[in-house]
């Protein structure tokens, strides 16, 4: 029988669910060509940013499992990277929800790969606006986010702003 994860692991899993919720909102309904959007004097296209986020979650899982390894992946097509986003979140979340030990602290995992991913999700939201397809703002405090909910089918927003 599996023992329940500790409160730090639960909070970290909630943080991953928050990334999934916010990420799904930024990724959902992206216009054709969004992944390769070029902004003058901005070095990364959205698909490069998303590939980096995916690398962050692969790295986070490797840290948690005691086999730390960083890999710079070559960005694939936008739909492939979107699918990879949710798959990487699920793999990381599955590990955190299990009984295997964390080989680094939950705090370090939060301050490193998870916080960095939130920054980049914000960049994608900003790039959506610059591409002429903004996402609506939302009161995220009231969002229906729960640990373990890291897939593409996120709950509908409870309160968005016009």
pLDDT in tens, 23-39: 999 999 999 999 999 99
At which residue do the structure tokens 């936008």 appear?
Answer: 78
pLDDT in tens, 72-108: 999 999 999 999 999 999 999 999 999 999 999 999 9
Percent of the chain with pLDDT over 70: 97
> For position 114, what pLDDT does the model report?
98
Is 63's pLDDT higher than 50?
yes
8 burial (CB, 10 Å; 0-12 / 13-18 / 19+) is middle
List Cα–Cα distances, 74 to 47, 69, 108, 130, 151, in angstroms: 10, 16, 26, 24, 23
pTM of the model: 0.93
**Topology classification of domain 7-142:** 1.20.120
Domain ranges of the chain: 7-142
């Amino acid at each position: 029988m599996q023992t329940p994860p500790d409160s730090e692991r639960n909070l970290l899993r909630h943080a991953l669910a928050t990334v999934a919720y916010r990420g799904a909102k930024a990724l959902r309904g992206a216009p054709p060509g969004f992944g390769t959007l070029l902004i003058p004097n901005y070095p990364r296209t959205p698909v490069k940013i998303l590939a980096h986020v995916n690398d962050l979650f692969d790295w986070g899982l490797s840290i948690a499992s005691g086999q730390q390894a960083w890999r710079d992946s070559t960005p694939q097509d936008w739909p492939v990277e979107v699918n990879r986003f949710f798959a990487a979140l699920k793999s990381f979340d599955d590990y955190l929800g299990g009984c295997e030990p964390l080989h680094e602290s939950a705090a370090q995992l939060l301050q490193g790969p998870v916080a960095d991913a939130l920054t980049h999700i914000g960049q994608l939201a900003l790039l959506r606006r610059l591409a002429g397809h903004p996402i609506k703002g939302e009161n995220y405090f009231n969002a229906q986010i729960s640990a373990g909910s890291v897939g593409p089918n996120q709950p509908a927003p409870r309160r968005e702003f016009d």
